[in-house]
Amino acid sequence: SKPSGAHAHPRTSSATPAKPGISKLKSSLRQTKRLLLKPQLDAAVKRDAQRRQKALEQELERALEGEKERQMAQKYHMVKFFERQKVLRALLRAKRALAALSISGSGNAKLKDKDKSRKQLEQELQERRVDLNYILVPAADRAQHYPKGKKYLSLLKDADEQGAAQRAQVREWVRGQMGRGAVSGEPEVE
């Protein structure tokens, strides 16, 4: 008997059944392959088993890809968090400098000598926005930012030539996405 005040655990019923795990898919695939190895198998059963095998292989491939994405997301979560913080700070610094330049007037000779020009500040602000879009991976639209299944190449850490080339390629892709409007032009406000 239960102590007074103890509640029974309510059973949760989900509308959609859970997807089978990787090991379950692998065992179903092995079972189907064993069935196909039987010498005297009815043609209809064999055809159904072959279709099932193909479907299971595709489902297993998707499940393995999803598992790899989860592992990569977990592995690089902290790195991305710190990089996002640093890029946001640099972005806000550039915004403040641009605002200060606008307030004090761009005709001041001292400002032109000391600080960066308006064009340089706007270019730096745009680059920080590209960097921020490079880092962010919103759950709603995974295909628009850094690919989840790939190893994350740090923005702020020096990389070898191949890593630098890959990073430049992804940044160029992000710039193109921003130009077409597929990715936010101001990710800091979202």
The mean pLDDT value of the chain amounts to 82
Q: Tell me the pLDDT band of 17, cut-offs 50, 70 and 90.
A: confident
Q: b vs e for 134-165, b when ≥16 Cβ sit within 10 Å of the residue's Cβ?
A: bbbbeeeeeebbbebeeebbebeeeeeeeeee
Residue 140's pLDDT is what? 36
Instruction: Residue 147: give the domain boundaries.
Output: 63-189
Please count the structural domains in the chain.
1
Quick one: three-class SS letters along 81-127? HHHHHHHHHHHHHHHHHHHHHHHHCCCCHHHHHHCCCHHHHHHHHHH
Assess if residue 185 is contained within a domain: yes
Assess if residue 67 is contained within a domain: yes
Assess if residue 109 is contained within a domain: yes
For the residues 121-125, what does the mean pLDDT come to? 91
| Alpha-helix residue ranges (DSSP H) falling in the chain | 22-37, 43-104, 109-114, 118-135, 161-180
